[in-house]
Amino acid sequence: MYLELNITDVGMEGEGISHADDYTVFVPAALTGETVKAQAVSVNHRKRLVFARLIKVIKASDDRVKPVCGAFGVCGGCDYMHADYAAELKFKRQNLAAILKKNAGLDTEISDVVPSDDPLGYRNKAQLVFGEKDGKIVLGFYRERTRTVKALADCPLHGAWMRPLIFAVTDWANRNRLSAYSSDTRSGLLRHLVVRVLDGFASVTIVATSFSIPDAEGLVTALDKVFGERYSLGISENTSAGGKIMGEGYRYVLKRDSDIAVDGVRVEVGPHSFFQVNDHIRKRVYERLIGMVSPCENTLFVDLYAGIGLTGIPIAKAGGRVINVEIVPEAVKDADKLYADNGMSDKVKNIAGDAADVLPQLIPEFSGRDVTVYLDPPRKGVSPELIKQLNGLTEDVNFKLIYLSCNPATLSRDLKLLDCFETIPPVMPFDMFPRTANLETLVKLCRKPTLSPG
């Protein structure tokens, strides 16, 4: 079924929205103000929703630009490659406001989205999928809403290292006649290639169904041509049937001391280390965060989704006390090393555990301190158990609550559930993920005042 549609809005995933015969129609890669021809792909009659495919732009928006990537619309990675960057930022701010009002009943001041210094080449991390095409190993990303791999030779969201890396790894795999893992048959060796590049040093991981990969020496030789000696190489064994990328075990093929600096902090780049993917926006976020905390010697900064604890380093440098809570034991070990390498072990307590279990044990340390509790959860948001713990704290446990979210949907859900707290404007969005529909948002909260009886 073909439709001629007038696009009146842009949705949370960057898709154009139209209305026809009491149905809401979603058209990826269409922009507000456009007239388009689209083909219905699926229809939900109960909810009166239509999901369509863009066939032709009849009348184009002034915001439309030519995508710089030929895989746009096939690869599921980007949502806004067809839009002018200023328009993308406008759409993201509008959508953030809409979802906060719809899901949390929150009608508050929202700052302009802080732009990335470059909407291309910003990503310092790649998670590529191995696939097979015409009997050859390829690397790429999943096609939108599928588990089929779209083979790529490059990706404009990543640095200049991406193209030679893809060539080096696929050439090595094909010379050795290796197989790609299939989720359908649950067979094959190679699953993912995970790479993080910081300060010119790369942490490279082959995710495979076995630690035994043929010709590891040949892979080292291939990577030498891409990164020189500025990289480490390891294997993560993943035999699970699910979509989880990294496996439980990890072995180094080649381990080198990264000895790099991130914002003046000595760090080691490892397979379990978490860093924001956009270096420029990370700095801007941390600047705002530090301004909110105003750290001094009386500060206690409690990071409940701490990773390797990088966020707390500026607090410790200012003389404050830091407590990092992280559920991944390997990341806690990295946090111990991070603070030791930077001479701040006396300023930190790194705890391995679930934040909901650990938080009640920390309350005695809040006394007499200027306390900030910091939440930077994964995309699924804050756990219900932790929200219950935060809401249940007694009124005399005084602290600021700061929430950094990478998902407006779960942010809005959690702000509603944190019903003992109120948002302090402005809400501050940052474009951590240009050309995609994702958005980073920083929110400061405080406990709601309790009305005295009578």
User: SS3 of 177, please?
Assistant: coil
Average pLDDT for 142-148: 84
> In this prediction, what percent of the chain has a pLDDT beyond 70?
99
Q: What are the CA-CA distances from residue 27 to residues 9, 44, 436 (Å)?
A: 10, 15, 16
Distance CA 55, CA 52 (A): 9
Clarify whether residues 366 and 421 are in a common domain: yes
- What pLDDT is recorded for position 451? 52
Clarify whether residues 301 and 161 are in a common domain: no
Cα R_g (the chain), whole angstroms: 24
- Listed residue (70, 66, 48, 68) closest to 57, CA to CA: 66
- What pLDDT is recorded for position 454? 46
In-domain check, residue 96: no
- What pLDDT is recorded for position 160? 96
In-domain check, residue 90: no
Clarify whether residues 262 and 371 are in a common domain: no
In-domain check, residue 103: no
In-domain check, residue 454: no
Last residue of a domain, one of 234, 267, 300: 267
State how beta strands 35-44 and 2-6 pair.
Answer: antiparallel
Last residue of a domain, one of 209, 232, 267: 267
For residue 151, the enclosing domain spans 125-267
Query: What is the identity of the amino acid at 110?
Result: I
Clarify whether residues 170 and 238 are in a common domain: yes
In-domain check, residue 34: yes
Whether pLDDT at 29 is above 60: yes
Clarify whether residues 244 and 303 are in a common domain: no
In-domain check, residue 99: no
Contact 155, 165 (CB under 8 A): no
Tens digits of residue pLDDT in 286-300? 999 999 999 999 999
User: If pLDDT is split at 50, 70 and 90, which confidence band does 381 have?
Assistant: very high
Q: Report residue 268 as tokens.
A: 């080691």
- What pLDDT is recorded for position 268? 81
- What pLDDT is recorded for position 147? 83
Average pLDDT for 362-382: 96
Whether pLDDT at 165 is above 90: yes
Clarify whether residues 298 and 259 are in a common domain: no
Clarify whether residues 24 and 131 are in a common domain: no
Beta strands in 292-437 (DSSP E): 299-303, 321-326, 348-352, 370-375, 400-405, 421-430
Clarify whether residues 296 and 435 are in a common domain: yes
Whether pLDDT at 20 is above 50: yes
**144: CB partners within 8 A, 6+ apart:** 28, 73, 74, 75, 76
In-domain check, residue 114: no
Clarify whether residues 217 and 263 are in a common domain: yes
Tens digits of residue pLDDT in 188-210? 999 999 999 998 999 999 999 99
Whether pLDDT at 351 is above 80: yes
Contact 272, 337 (CB under 8 A): no
Clarify whether residues 374 and 352 are in a common domain: yes
Average pLDDT for 352-375: 96
- What pLDDT is recorded for position 273? 74
Average pLDDT for 369-381: 96
CATH of the domain at 26: 2.40.50.140
Clarify whether residues 129 and 262 are in a common domain: yes
Q: Report residue 328 as tokens.
A: 């991944």
Q: Which has more pLDDT, 135 or 259?
A: 135
**8: CB partners within 8 A, 6+ apart:** 17, 18, 19, 32
Contact 37, 31 (CB under 8 A): no
User: Structurally, how many domains does the chain consist of?
Assistant: 3
Distance CA 110, CA 97 (A): 7
Tens digits of residue pLDDT in 393-440? 988 888 999 999 999 999 999 999 999 999 999 999 999 999 999 999
In-domain check, residue 360: yes
Distance CA 169, CA 175 (A): 10
This prediction's pTM: 0.93
User: SS3 of 194, please?
Assistant: strand
Count of helix runs (H) and strand runs (E) in the chain: 9, 22
- Listed residue (302, 341, 343) closest to 325, CA to CA: 302
Question: In sequence order, what are the beta bridge partners of 130?
Answer: 139
Average pLDDT for 181-190: 93
Average pLDDT for 318-347: 93
CATH of the domain at 417: 3.40.50.150
- Listed residue (380, 446, 434) closest to 113, CA to CA: 434
Contact 35, 46 (CB under 8 A): no
CATH of the domain at 169: 2.40.50.1070
Whether pLDDT at 109 is above 70: yes
Clarify whether residues 286 and 382 are in a common domain: yes
